[in-house]
Amino acid sequence: MANASYVRDQMLPPQAPPVSEAGVVKWLRENLFSGWFNTILTLVGVVVIYWLVVSALPWWLNSVWNAESLSQCREIVAATAGEGATGACWAMIRERWHQFIFGFYPPELWWRPVMAFGLLFAAMAPVLFAGQKKNLTLILGAVGLFLLVTLGLAGAPMGGWIASLVLVGGLIALVQVMPGRLLWFTAIYPALCFWLLWGGSVWTPIVAMLGFVVMGGAYLALVGRLGPTASALIGVFLAVFWWLFLDIPITTALASMIGGGLDQVDSDQFGGFLLAITIGVTAITFSLPIGILLALGRQSDMLIVKTLCVGFIEFIRGVPLITLLFTASLLLQYFLPPGTNFDIILRVIILVTLFAAAYLAEVIRGGLAALPRGQYEAADALGLDYWRAQRLIILPQALKISIPAIVSTFIGLFKDTTLVAFVGLMDPLKGVTQIVRADIDWKGIYWEPYIFVGAIFFVICFGMSRYSMYLERKLKTDHR
Amino acid sequence: MAVASDVPKESFRLSMLIYDTRYRSITIQIFVLILFGLFLAWLLNNTAVNLATRGKEFNFGFLWQRAGYDIGQAIIPYTNDSSHFRALLVGLVNTLVVAILGCILATILGVIIGVLRLSKNWLVGRLMTVYVEVFRNVPLLLWILLSYVILSEATPQPRDFRVTDEMAAAGEAPAASMMLFDTVAVTNRGTNVPAPLFDVSLGSVNLLGITLNLTILAYIAVIAGSVWINRLILAGARAQQEATGDRPVTWWKSILVLFGPVIALSLALGLHLEVPELRGFNFQGGILVAHSFTALLIALTLYTAAFIAEIVRAGILAISKGQSEAAFALGLRPGRTMNLIILPQALRVIIPPLISQYLNLTKNTSLGIAVSYLDLRGTLGGITLNQTGRELECMLLMMLIYLTISLIISALMNLYNTSVQIKVR
């Protein structure tokens, strides 16, 4: 072995990988052509995309934005792109967008829903991004900018414009000092929103909100002596008493003494996305607490409470939402005292809320059941009473587990707001589109309105699902 | 040394009803029960008063009156002389037909999409993601309305199918043509599909007031028998495999057993298709499937499939990577790994949410009202309700029926669920 003729004494420089194992070629081989089956799939996919593009692209490119009727649109398309070409007629959206957004809400008052919509984000911000000063300031700034522009566009009176800007400015200042206190704005927002949307005397929402003050005051005054359950019951009782017997006389008296208010808008003028968002946001807000209570009731040791909750949840989940909406429009007149008649939107909101609450209850029950038994026992061992244990130990964990399912219930709820069309309300999908399509000018148009409405729904629902993913990541505490 | 004495026996005091956790739950429950009773009494009282002031009474006698309206799609015999109850049954059958077909089609489509979304193929994976996100985030009502409008406005009129003598002479094709070997015609009035007809009729038999078609019964009996024999063959093969390690070849036996008898029965009964033909101004022969049915079915299938795809994907992802690696280590091919290792385990995760999707689909069939599909909601809760003015009875009955359907579906699926759940030893 001594006459080994050649021994390499230095490393060879590394060679470049083969062409098929690097760069684009490798990616293509691995991701698109890794076998005969995958190749077929890729080819099918390419054909599908090609077909979609070929059939839809000319239609998009030949879009017409300025026309007065569908036939005129078609003439323009034929003139510009040649005979037989297809083209979208977005002129319909250009002419009718306000019906899709506001329904028959009076045009000179459009600034009110716009302002309510802008402030909605200011009210949601402290809930969605609790304690993040930078995000809160950013959102409030965006809301201010949004209101500055849109209120100008919607022709708001100077008073409304200045008031909203001052309000947003004040909120931004508040965030800099005490970010936690922004929740107070969230608490009064429902009253403000109601007043902006429906108008009427300024005292109606204020006196109604005072009912909550009565409830809270009674609770705080009595909790030391009677314990939480009894004082909460008394507080609720007093508040109900307030709303049933004192609310209307006080409101009337105050309104006659000190006037002031906005022009009233009737519920049948609501429509389009204004209606969908009103119903959706209200129902989402109220269904979560009711759903939590129902879930706790279903998990309760008390047989009667449990039976009632199970009965309610299973009944609501067993019937389609449409039948519940028809209950709101047809049957409530049988179940309520003779002569009672309240707003159809309110009735629909109540039924949609109960519907969503039953689904949420099941979702949250899943979260409660997923918690290890030890958490409940640990809370008991610490000597926490039932409500403290739920509030401090159980619910934060259970809700965290069920976030994805809760948000998908919310998405479902928002999509279900379109069903109010069946009780005569003007939802964007069926109500407004039907009105537009019934117009002789736009008869026979179908892709454009549905694409427009579908796109808005998609943006909102997709945004909600992305937010739930963000929240899930943020609250993730395990280290897997 | 101190001796722990017994806790002094307290006598029962009234305040213990609130402050003692042993009694408090009883107090609360009695309180809740009283409140609930009061609420119920209030509702019933209001209802009674309201009914009295309207001069109505609560009874279901109207169900046996003449309905007087026509139903386009009536699978069980129905004329406008039939009773409201018969109309209810027709509506119920229509609901169930859409629900069952929708569940089957949505499951097939959903499983395919869910598996493809996980595929290593980048392009197909992205396409399926787009499909799922688009269909999940847009209301079902839109898909129903859109498919209905497209079917009824973008499809040709029956006269477009006509070939006149001049066109035949000039060799021109008509404006529209039939699909699938000239058997299916989609017009703006509906979809004409061929109808199965039999030369030999087995007749029907009246059993306890229900008319049963013997031909259908014969088919059901033959198919059930074939499936049973096939199971016997497979069980025999498995027994032999476990005894000897060799699995006998069974696929040709299965095909023969599953399809042979059905084909033989069809030949014996002289099954043939009656193809729709353009006569006069419209298509004659065959079955006319209303667009409301087709649109509802398409929309429900596409929409629910997106949800099922997500459930299937989540189920497969929930099976740990170790399971598939172990299967590969055993030398199983990817297809067999899926069939033998992943799917049986994933099914346990998939089935509970799948049940609730089936329930949702069934309840969503009530949206057929948007395209005037006469299902339960359209007959009992629609025309019957408007004609008789019996809102209370109709709505309560309808809710009861939907509730029953939901409970039956969830009971059946839970039964299936327990059969696939892991058997804990």
Return mean pLDDT, chain B: 83
Measured between beta carbons, the chain B residues lying within 8 angstroms of A315 are: 399, 403
Say yes or no to pLDDT of B105 above 90.
Answer: yes
Angle at B103 between CA B101 and CA B108, to 5 degrees: 95
For residue A457, give the nearest of B25, B51, B137 by CB distance: B137
How do strand B282-284 and strand B195-198 relate by DSSP bridges?
A: unpaired
CB contacts under 8 A, B 127-146 vs A, are 127, 133-134, 136-142, 145-146
Q: What is the arithmetic mean of pLDDT over A22-50?
A: 85
Closest residue in chain B to residue A359, using alpha carbons only: B356
For residue A335, give the nearest of B46, B119, B138 by CB distance: B46
Distance between CA A268 and CA A278 in Å, rounded?
Answer: 13
Cβ of A331 and B398 within 8 Å? no
A93, A422, B63, B72, B370 from A280: Cα distances, Å: 23, 16, 37, 36, 21
Measured between beta carbons, the chain B residues lying within 8 angstroms of A369 are: none
Measured between beta carbons, the chain A residues lying within 8 angstroms of B134 are: 458
Give pTM, 2 decimals: 0.86
Distance from A265 to chain B by nearest Cα, in Å? 28
Kindly tell me the burial class for residue A115, based on how many C-beta atoms sit within 10 Å of its own C-beta (0-12, 13-18, 19 or more). Answer: buried
Cβ of B53 and A337 within 8 Å? no
> A445 φ, ψ to 5°?
-90, 130
Say yes or no to pLDDT of B233 above 70.
Answer: yes
A361 contacts chain B (CB < 8 A)? no
Give residue-wise pLDDT tens across range B190-204: 888 887 777 777 777
CB contacts under 8 A, A 286-305 vs B, are 301-305
Q: What is the arithmetic mean of pLDDT over A151-160?
A: 80
**What per-residue confidence (pLDDT) applies to B135?**
93
Give residue-wise pLDDT tens across range A406-465: 998 999 999 999 998 888 888 888 888 888 888 888 887 888 889 999 999 999 999 999
Distance between CA A453 and CA A271 in Å, rounded?
Answer: 13
Q: What is the arithmetic mean of pLDDT over A33-39?
A: 82
For residue B120, give the nearest of A38, A457, A465 by CB distance: A38
Question: Highest-confidence range of A122-131, A188-197, B23-32, B358-367, by mean pLDDT?
Answer: B358-367
Structural domain spans, chain A: 20-61, 109-196, 200-262, 267-480
Tokens of A240: 């109900």
Cβ of B403 and A319 within 8 Å? yes
Q: What is the arithmetic mean of pLDDT over B204-213?
A: 69
Distance between CA A65 and CA B113 in Å, rounded?
Answer: 37
Q: What is the arithmetic mean of pLDDT over B98-124?
A: 91
Give residue-wise pLDDT tens across range B8-47: 666 777 777 767 777 778 888 888 899 999 999 998 998 8
- Find the Cα–Cα–Cα–Cα dihedral A253, A256, A259, A264, rounded to 10°: 90
Give residue-wise pLDDT tens across range A195-232: 888 888 888 888 888 888 888 888 888 877 777 777 88
Q: Which of B361, B346, B368, B374 lies closest to B406 in space, CA to CA?
A: B361
How sure is the predictor about B7, in pLDDT bands with cuts at 50, 70 and 90?
A: low
A70, A444 contact by CB (below 8 A):
yes
A316 contacts chain B (CB < 8 A)? no
Is CATH 3.60.90.10 what the domain over A267-480 is classified as, yes or no? Answer: no
A292, A294, A321, B226 from A357: Cα distances, Å: 8, 8, 12, 47
CB contacts under 8 A, B 25-64 vs A, are 25, 28-29, 32-33, 36, 43, 46-47, 49-51, 53
Specify the amino acid at residue A440. I
A211, A247 contact by CB (below 8 A):
yes
- The share of chain A scoring above pLDDT 70, in percent, equals 98
Closest residue in chain A to residue B397, using alpha carbons only: A323
How do strand A200-201 and strand A261-262 relate by DSSP bridges?
A: antiparallel
Say yes or no to pLDDT of B424 above 60.
Answer: no
Cβ of B25 and A302 within 8 Å? yes
B304, B102 contact by CB (below 8 A):
yes
Distance between CA A342 and CA A359 in Å, rounded?
Answer: 26
- Give the three-class secondary structure for A262: strand
Angle at A129 between CA A125 and CA A132, to 5 degrees: 110
Which residue matches tokens 């009875």?
Answer: B393
B363 contacts chain A (CB < 8 A)? yes
**What per-residue confidence (pLDDT) applies to B326?**
92
Q: What is the arithmetic mean of pLDDT over B331-348?
A: 84
Give residue-wise pLDDT tens across range B380-408: 888 888 888 888 888 889 999 999 998 89
**What per-residue confidence (pLDDT) applies to B305?**
95
Chain centroid, CA B320 distance in Å = 32
**What per-residue confidence (pLDDT) applies to B301?**
95
Closest residue in chain B to residue A464, using alpha carbons only: B137
Q: What is the arithmetic mean of pLDDT over B374-384?
A: 85
**What per-residue confidence (pLDDT) applies to B106?**
95
CB contacts under 8 A, A 209-238 vs B, are 227, 229-230
Question: Highest-confidence range of A173-182, A368-377, B35-44, by mean pLDDT?
Answer: B35-44
Cβ of B377 and A322 within 8 Å? yes
Cβ of B399 and A429 within 8 Å? no
Tokens of B43: 């509702």
Provide CATH code, domain B59-153+291-425: 1.10.3720.10
Tokens of B94: 């229509």
**What per-residue confidence (pLDDT) applies to B143?**
93
Distance from B126 to chain A by nearest Cα, in Å? 10
Is the backbone of residue B116 left (phi > 0), alpha (psi -120 to 50) or beta? alpha
**What per-residue confidence (pLDDT) applies to B347?**
84
A182, A244, A331, B16, B305 from A322: Cα distances, Å: 38, 30, 13, 47, 22
Measured between beta carbons, the chain A residues lying within 8 angstroms of B154 are: 446
**What per-residue confidence (pLDDT) applies to A280?**
92
**What per-residue confidence (pLDDT) applies to A290?**
94
Q: Which of A58, A54, A56 lies closest to A46 in space, CA to CA?
A: A54
**What per-residue confidence (pLDDT) applies to B98?**
93
Closest residue in chain A to residue B363, using alpha carbons only: A320
Distance from B47 to chain A by nearest Cα, in Å? 5
For residue B153, give the nearest of A32, A418, A446 by CB distance: A446
**What per-residue confidence (pLDDT) applies to A268?**
83
For residue A457, give the nearest of B50, B116, B138 by CB distance: B138
**What per-residue confidence (pLDDT) applies to A1?**
53
Measured between beta carbons, the chain B residues lying within 8 angstroms of A230 are: 18
Say yes or no to pLDDT of B343 above 60.
Answer: yes
Chain centroid, CA A2 distance in Å = 84
Cβ of A330 and B28 within 8 Å? no
Cβ of A323 and B399 within 8 Å? yes
A90, A117 contact by CB (below 8 A):
no
Say yes or no to pLDDT of A17 above 60.
Answer: yes
**What per-residue confidence (pLDDT) applies to A135?**
83
How sure is the predictor about B134, in pLDDT bands with cuts at 50, 70 and 90?
A: very high
Closest residue in chain B to residue A333, using alpha carbons only: B50
Say yes or no to pLDDT of B423 above 70.
Answer: no
Distance between CA A208 and CA A25 in Å, rounded?
Answer: 68
Distance between CA B295 and CA B371 in Å, rounded?
Answer: 8
Beta bridge partners of B191: B186, B289
Residues 6+ apart with CB under 8 A from A11: none
Pick the residue of B23, B131, B138 with the most A CBs within 10 A to test the interface with A by mutation: B138
